[in-house]
């Protein structure tokens, strides 16, 4: 948990928080000494050769005097030039770190504009969670960064608390559509390439930054209204899309009612031509594999799950990875809420169903600190969701949903910890909730199934 300064800084939505500590789950990711306030990425990508040429301009403020500082950048990319505040500087790039030595030391409070020119054949980063980051597809490319793949395609301070606004200029071969986070503010065709510029105003964690490139059909599911909903899909997919993905507009409305206003200007569901092991969330959009779009309703729960991440994970972001249940437990509970809302199994029935599975295969650690090897395990998702169900049964529906809406409002675009949630929940009841937190978050053994008091 970073110090008081970091907590204070996270109240200002346009600035990322200062990381005064690295995350013990990912000690090699993130950097100390400065706070990023903006990323400008200018990326050209050739699909046939998987060749990327980029210029990243990182604007930051030093919170301590800096003779040297570092950014995360994968070794598969080669750095051609680095400048700080307009002057070329010395650098060294190895073991996933770009170490930069400014000509003159930067004083505490000093501004930094770091420009990095780089390029190469991007490829995913190997991690204990498999390969993550930039990935070539059969006919395009995607980025699936979570948790530490962002440096596979741009230099960054790769820490979830280091949120910042982004501007992404992506230029690629004209037959392809390139989607990035935020609003598309300009499209310019030049020769055989098309340049698109996206402006992501709401601060974004680096793991949620993403580019998707493919030969997609663009569908508008809802234009105007509160939340425009779009889809990018292979043209051949046709009606198969409508079955599992046809109720997204209704889903956005239901979640807005339950969780509060949708936090971003629009939402897009991308379906790639390739099969994907799991769908993944990015800020403002989600990406599914063609295997998740098979003309049935079987994968609709995943559509609900990824959409719910826009509130839980993308807008309200865990400051440290050990609090991942604040993303996955909430998104999983949203699946059950959608099931009930759409006439399927009730949330209580879903909770009972998955509780029985947890009895058979309980997790080896606590939900509050699952450890890096367990943080993406299914039990974290399910136990996290049942924790919310226990809280809902204790508070009653009125107070429970008021708490959830207050949570997404109070911490919109900010970073949070489990302690923030526990503290906020306590203001919604006169009853002590300590037993729920102790049993569900801090005890390894699975508690009894929750009942209404
Ligand atoms: Zn998820």
Residue 276 domain flag: yes
Which pTM was predicted?
A: 0.94
| Judgement on whether residues 148 and 254 belong to the same structural domain of the protein | yes
| Judgement on whether residues 108 and 245 belong to the same structural domain of the protein | yes
Average pLDDT over residues 113-118: 98
State in Å: Cα 305 to ligand 1 middle: 6
| Judgement on whether residues 255 and 110 belong to the same structural domain of the protein | yes
Residue 314 domain flag: no
Helix (H, G, I), strand (E, B) or coil at 55: strand
Q: How many CA atoms within 13 Å lie on the side-chain side of 19?
A: 24
Average pLDDT over residues 311-335: 98
Contact of 385 with 354, CB cutoff 8 Å: yes
**Distance linking the first and last C-alpha atoms of the chain:** 34
pLDDT at 11 over 90: no
| Judgement on whether residues 359 and 429 belong to the same structural domain of the protein | yes
State in Å: Cα 251 to ligand 1 middle: 16
Q: Which helix (H) or strand (E) holds 351?
A: helix 347-360
State in Å: Cα 281 to ligand 1 middle: 7
Copy the structure tokens of residue 140. Answer: 């395009």
| Judgement on whether residues 292 and 334 belong to the same structural domain of the protein | no
The band of 19, judged by pLDDT with boundaries at 50, 70 and 90, is low
Q: Give the CATH number of the domain where residue 107 resides.
A: 2.60.40.1730
As residues whose CB is below 5 A from the ion ligand 1, the structure lists 328, 331
State in Å: Cα 272 to ligand 1 middle: 18
| Judgement on whether residues 280 and 404 belong to the same structural domain of the protein | no
Contact of 20 with 6, CB cutoff 8 Å: yes
What pLDDT, on a 0 to 100 scale, did the predictor assign at position 450? 95
| Judgement on whether residues 49 and 121 belong to the same structural domain of the protein | yes
How many structural domains does the chain have?
2
| Judgement on whether residues 357 and 289 belong to the same structural domain of the protein | no
| Judgement on whether residues 282 and 201 belong to the same structural domain of the protein | yes
Range of the domain at 53: 34-308
Q: pLDDT digits over 419-444, tens only? A: 999 999 999 999 999 999 999 999 99
| Judgement on whether residues 100 and 165 belong to the same structural domain of the protein | yes
What pLDDT, on a 0 to 100 scale, did the predictor assign at position 7? 34
The band of 17, judged by pLDDT with boundaries at 50, 70 and 90, is very low
What pLDDT, on a 0 to 100 scale, did the predictor assign at position 20? 66
Contact of 129 with 120, CB cutoff 8 Å: no
Residue 2 domain flag: no
Mean pLDDT of the chain: 94
The band of 239, judged by pLDDT with boundaries at 50, 70 and 90, is confident
| Judgement on whether residues 391 and 414 belong to the same structural domain of the protein | yes
Residue 224 domain flag: yes
| Judgement on whether residues 216 and 327 belong to the same structural domain of the protein | no
pLDDT at 18 over 90: no
Q: Nearest to residue 244, comparing CAs of 314, 338, 331?
A: 338
Copy the structure tokens of residue 304. Answer: 């609900």
Average pLDDT over residues 79-87: 98
State in Å: Cα 337 to ligand 1 middle: 15
What pLDDT, on a 0 to 100 scale, did the predictor assign at position 297? 86
State in Å: Cα 425 to ligand 1 middle: 22
Q: pLDDT digits over 277-298, tens only? A: 999 999 999 999 999 998 888 8
Q: Give the CATH number of the domain where residue 357 resides.
A: 1.10.390.10
């Amino acid at each position: 948990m970073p110090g008081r300064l970091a907590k204070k800084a996270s109240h200002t939505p346009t600035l990322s928080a200062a990381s005064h500590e690295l995350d013990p789950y990912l000690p090699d990711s993130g950097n100390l000494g400065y706070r990023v306030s903006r990323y400008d990425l200018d990326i050209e990508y050739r699909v046939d050769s998987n060749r990327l040429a980029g210029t990243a301009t990182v604007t930051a403020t030093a919170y301590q005097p800096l003779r040297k500082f570092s950014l995360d950048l994968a070794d598969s990319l080669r750095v051609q030039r680095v400048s700080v505040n307009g002057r070329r500087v010395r650098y060294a790039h190895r073991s996933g770190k770009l170490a930069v030595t400014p000509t003159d030391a930067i004083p505490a409070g000093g501004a930094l504009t770091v420009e990095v020119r780089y390029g190469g054949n991007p490829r995913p980063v190997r991690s204990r969670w498999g390969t993550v980051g930039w990935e070539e597809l059969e006919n395009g490319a995607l980025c699936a960064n979570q948790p530490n793949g962002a440096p596979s395609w741009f230099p960054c301070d790769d820490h979830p608390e280091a949120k910042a606004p982004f501007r992404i200029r992506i230029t690629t071969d004209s037959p392809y559509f390139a989607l990035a986070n935020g609003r598309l503010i300009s499209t310019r065709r030049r020769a055989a390439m098309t340049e698109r510029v996206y402006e992501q105003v709401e601060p974004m964690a680096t793991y949620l930054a993403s580019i998707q490139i493919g030969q997609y059909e663009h569908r508008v599911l809802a234009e105007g209204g509160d939340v425009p909903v779009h889809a990018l899909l292979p043209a051949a997919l046709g009606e198969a899309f409508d079955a599992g993905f046809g109720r997204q507009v209704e889903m956005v409305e239901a979640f807005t009612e339950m969780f509060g206003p949708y936090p971003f200007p629009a939402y897009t569901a991308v379906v790639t031509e390739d099969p994907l092991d799991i769908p993944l969330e990015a800020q403002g959009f989600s990406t599914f594999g063609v295997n998740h779009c098979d003309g049935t309703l079987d994968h609709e729960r995943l559509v609900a799950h990824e959409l719910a991440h826009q509130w839980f994970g993308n807008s309200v972001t865990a400051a440290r990875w050990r609090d991942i249940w604040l993303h996955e437990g909430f998104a999983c509970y949203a699946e059950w809420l959608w099931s009930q809302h759409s006439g399927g199994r009730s949330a209580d029935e879903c909770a009972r169903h998955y509780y029985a599975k947890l009895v058979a295969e309980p997790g080896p650690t606590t939900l509050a600190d699952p450890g890096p090897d367990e943080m993406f395990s299914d039990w974290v998702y399910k136990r996290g969701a049942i924790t919310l169900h226990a809280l809902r049964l204790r508070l009653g529906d009125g107070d429970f949903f008021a708490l959830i809406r207050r949570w997404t409002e109070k911490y919109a675009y900010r970073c949070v910890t489990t302690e923030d949630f526990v503290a906020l929940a306590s203001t919604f009841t006169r009853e002590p909730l300590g037993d729920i937190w102790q049993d569900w978050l801090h005890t390894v053994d699975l508690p009894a199934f929750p009942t209404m008091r």
